[in-house]
Amino acid sequence: MLTLATLGMAAYGLYSIAEGLLDLLWWSRLELWANAGVIVFGLLLLLAAAFVRVLIPGGLALALGALLGLQALSIHAAGGLHVWPQVARALAAAVLIALAWAGGRQPHAGVTDV
């Protein structure tokens, strides 16, 4: 589960970075600060995915913060609240967080309680 969550977060982060760069360079739908925010949150999610995978404390919170930031900028990019795309994006983020949380709670080989 942890690997699936990590791959999903990394893919979502890379998608967000690519979307922000494409919009910044060609589409120009958003302001400069919004595109920069999407790129920064995508990079943050990519970093958080690595932290989640190696179970660094705070990695899941960092991932949650990046996902919430991307959700907020998605609402801004939509130009209003179009409900179903936002619900789908929020559900995907919730599934990734739940998978990471459940995967981090499983006992791992070689780890003992002290």
**How far is 26 from 10, CA to CA, in rounded Å?**
24
Does the structure show a pLDDT above 50 at 13?
yes
Interval 54-64 mean pLDDT = 95
**How far is 69 from 108, CA to CA, in rounded Å?**
31
Per-residue model confidence as pLDDT tens digits over 24-38: 999 888 889 999 999
pTM for this model (two decimals): 0.87
Percent of the chain with pLDDT over 70: 91
Q: State the DSSP code for 112.
A: -
Q: State the DSSP code for 91.
A: H
Q: How confident is the model at residue 111 (pLDDT cuts 50, 70, 90)?
A: low
Q: Which residues contact 32 (CB under 8 A, 6 or more apart)?
A: 24
Q: How confident is the model at residue 114 (pLDDT cuts 50, 70, 90)?
A: very low
- Note whether 45 and 12 are within 8 A (CB): yes
